[in-house]
Amino acid sequence: MLVYNTLHRTKEEFVPREIGKVSMYVCGVTPYDALHLGHVRTFLSYDMIRRYLERLGYEVRHVQNVTDIDDKIINRAKQLGVDPLDLARKYSDEALQDCDALGMRRAHEYPRVSVHMPEILEMIQSLVQKRAAYVRDGSVYFDVSRFPDYGQLSHQNTAEMQSSGRIEVDGSKDDPLDFALWKSSKPDEPRWDSPWGPGRPGWHVECSAMSLKYLQNGFDIHGGAVELQFPHHENEVAQSEAYTGSPPFVRYWLHGGVVFVDGKKMAKSLGNFITVQEILKQATPDALRMMFYSTHYRSPFDYSASRLEEAKAAWERMQLGMLNLRRDLGRETRSDGSPAASGYLADRAEDAERKFGRAMGDDFNTPIALAALFDLVSEANKYLAETAPSPSRSAEAAAAFIALERSLLVLGFAVVEGEGKHGEDQTALLLDLLVEIREKAREDKQFQLADAIRARLHEMEIVLEDHPDGTTWRRKN
C-alpha cells in the first residue's frame, strides 16, 4: 500500500512500526463553536483511512485530541460570560454527537489538554533543561535555532516562514520563529501552576505531549488538515524530536485538503461555514460521503449546493442499482429458452473489487475506487435487463451485490437504505440465499452451477461445508 508522506513529498510504501498494528493521531477540534463542513471533510477522510486499514487486517489505535484550552475558546467564553472549560466541554460533546450522526467510528481516545497538564509540564521542563527552550517573563519559548531541521515538514525556508502571516508576534522572543510552549497567565484566563509561574500551555506542545503519551515516539500516522502543516505540525516535529532525541517523531504525515466556498476557505472566522446540523437537514450522511469521496482527500474541495445535489443523485443511483440486484434474488425463475447467466457479472464483480482495492491501496484514491463501483452498477443494470431470471442469474446478482456491499462498507456507507438489514447482517442473509440456490441447483442436477457457486464463495474466503442434513457456510480463519 502506498501513502503520500508530506514529510518527503512523495508516495511511499506503508510499513507500520509494528507488524499488524497501526498507531494514528488526528488533530481534533478546538471547541468554541459548532462543527462545520470543513471539519467534517477532515474527519471523514481519517474515518475512511482507518476503516480501510482495518479491512486490510490492521489493528488500528486511533487517538484524536480535544484542544479545550485556546485563545479562541477564552475569547468566546468572555463574550458569552461563561467558563472557558464549560464552553469547550459543551461544544466538544456536540462535535462528538455530530460525528456519531455522520456514522463515523469513534476514536479510541479523546485526550483533552486540560487533564494532561502533568505530561505537558514535564515535556516543557525537559526542553528547558536541554536548552532547546528558554524562559522569558514567566513564559517559555522553543528556540528554533537549536533545531537545525526546522522547516523539514513544511518545506519552507526562514524567509518564507516569516512572510507566511502565521507567525505569532511577541517582543519577548529572541527570534520571530520561536514559539510559545508556556504562556504566562493574564487576568480572567484559565491558569495552572508551573515552575515559571501560573499560566497555560501553548498550542503546539499539547499535541506532542498527548500523542507521545498514548502512541509513543515514532508512531505511524499523524493526520490533520493541510492548513495545520505550518506552523502547528512543523512545531510539533521540532519540539518532539528535540525532546526525545530520537527521530522520527512520526513515520507518515498525512494532510487533507481545504474546503472552500466560492473560492474562500470555509472558516468560522470568515462566517462562511455550514454546520453539521444544517447540512443534515439537506442531505444524508451517505450523500455527504459521496460528495467528499468523489474528490481525493488531499485535494482542495470547493463546496456548492450543486455539488451536493450531484452527490445525492450519485448515491441514489448506487442505491437503486443495489436494490435491483437484491430484488432479483427473490424473483421466481423460469426456463423458457432465454439466455442463461454466463458468469459475466460475477467476473465483473471480481474485477471491480480488484480495481477498488488497487485504488484504495494507492494513497486512498476514493474517486477511482468509487468509479469502479459505479461501473459495476452499470454492468449489473445492463445484465439484469438482458438476461432471464434463473438460479444462475440470482447467483450472479448476489456476487455483484456482495462486491458492492463489501466495498461500500469500507468507505463507511450504509447499504440499501430503507430496506432490510445493513452491513454484516445483510451479507449473512445473502450467503444463506446462495447456499439455498446451490442446494436447488444440486437437486436439479445443475452440478456445474453448484460447483461454480462454491468456487466463487471460496474466492471470497467463504467455505461451504456439506452435511447429511444440509449445507453450512463459514468464513476462512
pLDDT in tens, 78-107: 999 999 999 999 999 999 999 999 999 999
Q: Kindly report, residue by residue over 10-41, the tens digit of the pLDDT.
A: 999 999 999 999 999 999 999 999 999 999 99
Q: Give me the pLDDT at residue 192, please.
A: 97
Q: Kindly report, residue by residue over 313-367, the tens digit of the pLDDT.
A: 999 999 999 988 988 876 644 444 444 446 889 999 999 999 999 999 999 999 9
Q: Kindly report, residue by residue over 367-397, the tens digit of the pLDDT.
A: 999 999 999 999 999 999 998 888 888 889 9
CATH 1.20.120.640 domain locations along the chain: 305-475
Average pLDDT over residues 230-252: 97
**Residue 456: CB partners within 8 Å, gap ≥ 6?**
346, 395, 399
pLDDT at 129 over 50: yes
Q: Give me the pLDDT at residue 418, please.
A: 38
pTM confidence score: 0.86
| Residue 464 and residue 451 in contact, taking contact as beta carbons nearer than 8 Å | no
State yes or no: cis peptide before 248, omega within 30 of 0.
yes
DSSP labels for 187-215?
TTS--B--TT-SEEE-HHHHHHHHHHHHH
Q: Give me the pLDDT at residue 167, please.
A: 75
Q: Kindly report, residue by residue over 165-196, the tens digit of the pLDDT.
A: 677 777 789 999 999 999 999 888 999 999 99
| Residue 238 and residue 147 in contact, taking contact as beta carbons nearer than 8 Å | yes
- Work out the number of other CB atoms within 10 angstroms of the CB of residue 219: 24
pLDDT at 432 over 60: yes
| Residue 365 and residue 355 in contact, taking contact as beta carbons nearer than 8 Å | no
If you classify domain 305-475 with CATH, what class do you get?
A: mainly alpha
In the CATH hierarchy, which fold is given to the domain comprising 2-281?
Answer: Rossmann fold (3.40.50)
- Work out the number of other CB atoms within 10 angstroms of the CB of residue 339: 10
pLDDT at 466 over 90: no
Nearest-10 crossing angle of helices 305-329, 423-443: 30
- Least reliable range by pLDDT among 277-281, 283-287, 308-312, 341-345: 341-345
CATH 3.40.50.620 domain locations along the chain: 2-281
Q: Give me the pLDDT at residue 330, please.
A: 62
454 or 310, greater pLDDT = 310
Q: Give me the pLDDT at residue 446, please.
A: 87
Q: Give me the pLDDT at residue 343, please.
A: 85
Q: Give me the pLDDT at residue 462, please.
A: 83
Q: What is the Cα–Cα distance from 365 to 354, expressed in whole angstroms?
A: 13
Q: Give me the pLDDT at residue 132, please.
A: 98
